[in-house]
Chains A and B, each alone.
Chain A
Amino acid sequence: MSKEEFRFIGKSIPPRELFDKVTGRFRYVGDRSAELYGKILRSPFPHARIKHIDTSKVEKLSGVEAVLTHKDVPPRKLPRRDQRACYILEDHVRFVGDEVAAVAARTRAIAEEALDLFEVEYEVLPAVFDPEEATKPEAPQLYPGGNVYGPQFGMIVEKGLNEPVIMEWGDIEEGFKEADVVVEDKVEVKPQIHSPIETHICIARWRGDELTLWTATQSPYEARMSIAYALGMPEGKVRVIYGAIGGGFGSKYIERYQPIAALLSKKAGGKSTKIVLTREEELCHAGRAGAKIRVKLGVKKDGTITAIYLKGFFNLGGYGNIIGGCGRFGEESPALAYKYQNARFEGWDVHTNHITSQPCRGVALPTLTFAMENVIDQAAERLNMDPVEFRLINLPETDTLMPLKPHKNPIYPRAELDAYPAQQILREVAEKIDWERFKGYQHPLAVEGPKSRGLGIAASQGWGGFCTGGFINETVIINNDGSVHILSGHTDLGTGSNTTLRQIAAEALGIPIEDVTIATGDTIIGHFDMIGARGSRSMTTAGHLILVAIEQAKNRIRQIAAPLLEVEPEQIDVREKKAYVKGEERRAIFLKELLTSTVKCTVGGDPRDWLLIKGTMWPLVAPGKKTRNPVIAASEVEVDMETGEVKPLRIVTGNCPGRMINPTIVRGQYIGAVAMTLGMALWEEFKYDEKNSVYEHASLTDYKVPRALDVPPIENVIIEEVFERPLDVGGPYGARGAGELAGLGIVASIANAIRNATGVRVRRTPMTAEKVLEALKGERQGEK
């Protein structure tokens, strides 16, 4: 079907809720009042045992209505997908800022005052901060089973296996023997803090044995499941209301503060209890995993990549798990960016006494892409090949069978890439940024006084955001007037997914978009979503399942209409509020004449399919085909050689969204991801003083997220490529996720551009003026 034939697909329809957002009427959790205000006492030590807590003074303070310590919490752990299972409070604290105790009081001022009245005796334990150090047996141990969170983890069961996650094919020994040039290097990445403008927030309230939680969460059903499990109550008694979220980016899942609020409320007789993290708490409790990554790359003279060996240590902090660390390598994404003949990717996910790792827009992929593109560029330089030309030789294309040889670990499917125009995207990105200006790795684009300009390019790839398995429930209700209600388990984080889903349904049923409403934001509708708004999947997974449900609903209507239209059900189509004989639209019957009330179909994936059991979250999109998104980024920077300051001048990012449902929303996602990872590349610096146990980045003055003047114009190359399939097969109308995809190559392309401008490689993020100067100094002293 050509684009012109669509009524709603490919149209930039503004999300309906924007009206409320621009008028100040959109109600976030913080806009609700609560009877009590909760505060959390946090550990001043990176690693300690709580020997004794005296709460008597807290309890005596007038206005305090509930106090909570590790002695008051149930002996069951919170199962969590993005963080390690943990007790709601424990007598063992694992990072500065870890939860020690909590209090609820009638006002915030009283709750804050109460925090000073806790008397806690700690036994301070030795701490470890470096993920590689922490793998050693002599390192301080955070968990009885060891610090390494191995590949065979479970949500509840602790399995410190001290083994890496491995992805491997071919034989790297042979591969390196065949290579004419071998490049080896390492990079180090600091944690990036998500920093949504709305900090983490919840209000808990009990009525009898029923708990209601208003919270900003990306994964409401996980919150429901996790809290119900830890508190030993039926899931149906926990209601999570989550309709408005002031930014998530991977930060807002189930965390301790939510069940803490629930327990405080319970102790206070069910009074509504609000916990809002301060900006300082927000900046010092969780972030994208820091990492140290070594890569060895072998290439032949003709540019073919013969082997790659990547070994990465990902810092999980106190409570992260592999989803926030190597992320099982983003379902092999970094490995598939190029046609590596032989490969071994080894990811060590390691607990340390740092803040907890949580997935952050792209999880480990911006980090891994930085590590890999750093050596890719060096290999191309050694071969005296242009960076674009070198990548063109090695990029896979649509239908390339990837990886080139079968995986040694069968959890990763080997299949042909579906709609993967990587080379075309690279060519168009290069053209857009005027790559012909590139004069060679050692030659800056232009030098003016102390200012030097450079160009950099990077390739990556990410998951398609498509889960056939589902683990999310969608209901389509067709009313007899032809209008449609959708009940959906997905979460709209402000990314416009409610709108794109309405567009998909309106298109499939041929009805005006105004006639499609969507209900989400409250677990009372019981539309379980196993993993929440993660992995750029909301629109693709929910959209796919909505189309499946629509197809089932149409089948029911066909059955009802067939005797009346005197044809077989298969001869009937259902569109535009009527059932009609295909090819004879006049032989029709309106739904209002056909249906007494409604036709309703619910679909959902099999929960047993889910990622951690079946092993793969993004299975084949069609037999033998897997969906991955090619990603290209190019940057132009200006570096002040005296101060080291880097100014990004232009960024071009290239992506394939399959088919865009709503181009303005897709562009908004792409630009947003670029800005966020640009912050990671250049300015956002997590700083922890290990000696004094103090965070030095605890405000938005010290932790510099990009502001309007920091972000240069961001240009997009968007290539749509779609394989025609039945509506209920694959991504909805061929669409793919967008949320994370444009950010994967930004850090890498900035690093490569800095290299071109300055002649030196900066191997640590963020690439602040200080680090650039250090690298320049190192170079002058003859270091490479």
Chain B
Amino acid sequence: MMLEATTRKMIRMAVNGQNRDIEVLPNELLGDVLRERLGLTGTKIGCEAGECGACTVLINGKPILSCLTLAIECEGKEILTIEGIGDAAKEELHPLQKAFVEHYGVQCGFCTPAMILTAKAFLEKNPTPNEDEIREAINGVICRCTGYMQIVESILAAAEEMKGTVHE
């Protein structure tokens, strides 16, 4: 059943560093709000069941499945999507983005935003990871194209590049 408009609630989220006031329905999912209301289509929807990981965004720095998260729960939180890292307009890439290009951690690209965001949150906790730790970190995001090796290599290269520096 469609919910009545009166049940809408105004929430404020900081999306990619910008405060956004959005009126949401109680059952509206964060992934849909990001994609359909804010036009941030870099976040992908692959299964709507929290299984493929393609919808991963960072909420207060932690990777969260936006297809299972109600937008209404994000009141007052910081949301980071793929559009919020690097500066695409200036052609400036985050070291992770750069490494995914250089080491070919991308094929069809559908899981890429989730992979990069997941890796970003992970490298902040563990800046000098080994291969197994990286695999564990990205285990929740399915890539059907690459067989993961070039993704792992990309993340290793980015970790090396980011050593001792702070990147937003």
Contacts and interface: CB of A to CB of B under 8 A. Distances in A.
A202 interface: no
Contacts of B46: 197-199, 279
Contacts of B116: 22
Contact of A23 (B49, B54, B86, B140): B86
Interface string A1-21: 000000000001010011101
Contact of B83 (A24, A249, A664): A24
B69 interface: no
A24 B82 contact: yes
Contact of A14 (B51, B91, B102): B102
Instruction: State the majority secondary structure of interface residues on B.
Output: loop
A676 B146 CA distance: 9
B42 interface: yes
B157 to A, nearest CB: 13
Interface in A661-720: 664-665, 667-668, 671-676, 699-701, 705-709, 711, 713-714
A109 interface: yes
A196 interface: yes
Contacts of A676: 144, 147
Contacts, number: 172
Interface in B121-155: 134-136, 138-152
A285 to B, nearest CB: 15
B106 A197 contact: no
Interface stretch (A25-33, A430-438, A574-582, A630-638): A25-33
A493 interface: yes
Interface in B1-26: 1-2
Interface stretch (B70-78, B107-115, B159-167): B107-115
A246 interface: yes
Given A699-B51, A714-B147, A14 B104 contact: yes
Instruction: State the majority secondary structure of interface residues on A.
Output: loop
Nearest to B97: A22
Given A279-B47, A279-B49, A22 B147 contact: no
A38 interface: no
B108 A247 contact: yes
Contact of B108 (A22, A493, A664, A706): A493
A516 to B, nearest CB: 19
Interface string B85-109: 0101001010001001111101111
A57 to B, nearest CB: 16
A711 B101 CA distance: 22
A246 B46 CA distance: 10
A708 B108 contact: no
B149 A494 contact: no
B83 A23 contact: yes
Contacts of B149: 671, 711, 713-714
Contact of A197 (B35, B52, B88): B52
Contacts of B42: 23-25
B45 interface: yes
A671 B150 contact: yes
Interface of B: 1-2, 35-36, 40-49, 51-52, 54, 81-83, 86, 88, 91, 93, 97, 100-104, 106-113, 116, 134-136, 138-152
A-B residue pairs, 6 tightest by C-beta: A24-B42, A494-B108, A675-B147, A21-B109, A246-B110, A24-B82
10 contacts: A21-B112, A22-B116, A23-B42, A110-B2, A245-B108, A494-B145, A664-B150, A708-B148, A709-B135, A711-B149
Given A22-B86, A708-B138, 5 more contacts: A17-B109, A19-B101, A31-B41, A668-B145, A672-B146
